[in-house]
Amino acid sequence: MNKFHDDTNCIHGPNHFEDPHGALTAPLYQTSTFHFKNAAQGAARFAGEEAGYIYTRLGNPTTRELEEKVAALEEMEDAAATATGMGAVSASVLSFLQAGDHLIASKALYGCSYALFAHMLPKFGIDVSFVDMTDAQALQAALKPNSKMLFAETPINPTMTVLDLTMLGQFAKANQLISVIDNTFLTPLLQKPKHFGIDLIVHSATKYLNGHGDVVAGLVCGSKEHIATIKLTVLKDIGATISPHDAWLINRGLKTLHVRMARHCESAQKVAEYLEQHSKVTQVYYPGLPSHPGYRFLGEQMKGAGGVIAFELKGSLQDGEAFINATKLCTLAVSLGDPETLIQHPASMTHSPYTREERLAAGISDGLIRLSVGLENVDDIIADLAQAFNAF
């Protein structure tokens, strides 16, 4: 692995692309299959005796460039690209768990991750416990003889709770668990879970890695052994592999990731400070604020607080709906990490797979609003929020 800085790796990757025709930008290999020189070469590739491409579900040069680049950013040995972020989550879990195994998952998760763990895995005989991972005693109490994996996000979507990766990494290692962390909210530029002993790192590449709102994709980073298992089992046989065109778009987006993340963080900090002082806001959840419990992790675990804010409004659920509907610059849409500022209501949207009781237990109230701060002028974002507050 090279010794370039992250912002250089965002542009060049660990293996600087050299095109035989002199193209500056790596070409898009928009092909489903690859031809062989002869039958012997085809047989050798299928047998794993010769390196080379066979079929795009099994590998593609454009996809490989993306995998190598993100693996380098996460300082992991390898990566597997998937068709969606949930493809990455499911591949990281299904590749290593089987009937009779036990998964320890964070009590608060992205809604579809929760639905996979709570509703689908038990159908296949996989036991799941949801735990408050800020509580070391609760984590220890959840341990069973058949525990095989730990899965969490940090910061947690949408509450912005920050988990102690040192504690989670040590707990997983001490109990021989495969540890999986969803690093979507911060990207490898702001947080590197490997530094804390984490085995697998998951991304929804739909978000900041692509950064333009025109792709759905995912990535899993880990050791060569773990990634080979993922590629040769779940990805090969279930088939949630990325298209070359989407990989090409994410490769393009990665070139500006470092400047985009800096702007997202800078603007989100200003918006969070504005919201914290507003009389119609009862609580702001953003790790960049000294009032947030996750603030203590800045500097060591996290280089920045990211671009996502959650906050509680005074008033009723209807007041929250009125506020969201009154925004004009902010776009009412799920997802995050786009150039546009996106605003949404988790209880009725991204986290609707939870029952109300499950949602409240996870800290997701009826009135919680999530804001993904975009790349617009921050004064314009704040002005839009101000006029929306005046509307109710």
Q: Which residue numbers are catalytic?
A: 57, 110, 182, 207
Which of 236, 254, 272 is the endpoint of a domain?
A: 254
| 239 and 290 belong to one structural domain | no
| 98 and 213 belong to one structural domain | yes
Given this model, what pLDDT does residue 2 score?
57
| 234 and 350 belong to one structural domain | no
Which of 254, 289, 311 is the endpoint of a domain?
A: 254
CATH number at residue 249: 3.40.640.10
What whole-number distance in Å separates Cα of residue 237 and Cα of residue 174?
32
Q: How many degrees, rounded to 5, is the angle at CA 76 between CA 29 and CA 4? A: 80
What whole-number distance in Å separates Cα of residue 270 and Cα of residue 274?
6
| 250 and 350 belong to one structural domain | no
* CB-CB contact of 304 with 265 (8 Å): yes
| 95 and 180 belong to one structural domain | yes
Residues in the chain, overall count? 392
Q: Select the more confidently predicted residue: 6 or 364.
A: 6
Q: Which domain holds residue 120?
A: 6-254
| 100 and 187 belong to one structural domain | yes
As for how many domains the chain has, the answer is: 2
Tokens of 14: 């660990």
Q: Is the pLDDT of residue 83 over 90?
A: yes
Average the pLDDT over 275-291 and give the result: 96
pLDDT in tens, 354-377: 777 777 777 777 778 999 999 999
pTM (predicted TM-score): 0.94
Q: Is the pLDDT of residue 128 over 90?
A: yes
pLDDT in tens, 135-160: 999 999 999 999 999 999 999 988 89
Given this model, what pLDDT does residue 355 score?
75
Average the pLDDT over 288-309 and give the result: 97
The DSSP 8-state label assigned to residue 234 in this structure reads: I
pLDDT in tens, 331-356: 999 999 999 999 998 777 776 777 77
Q: Is the pLDDT of residue 392 over 90?
A: no
Average the pLDDT over 212-240 and give the result: 97
How many other CB atoms sit within 10 Å of the CB of residue 302?
23
> Confidence class of residue 315 from pLDDT cuts 50, 70 and 90?
confident
| 350 and 300 belong to one structural domain | yes
| 245 and 265 belong to one structural domain | no
- Residue owning tokens 């603030």: 295
Q: Is the pLDDT of residue 67 over 90?
A: yes
What whole-number distance in Å separates Cα of residue 185 and Cα of residue 192?
12
Average the pLDDT over 14-41 and give the result: 89
Given this model, what pLDDT does residue 159 score?
87
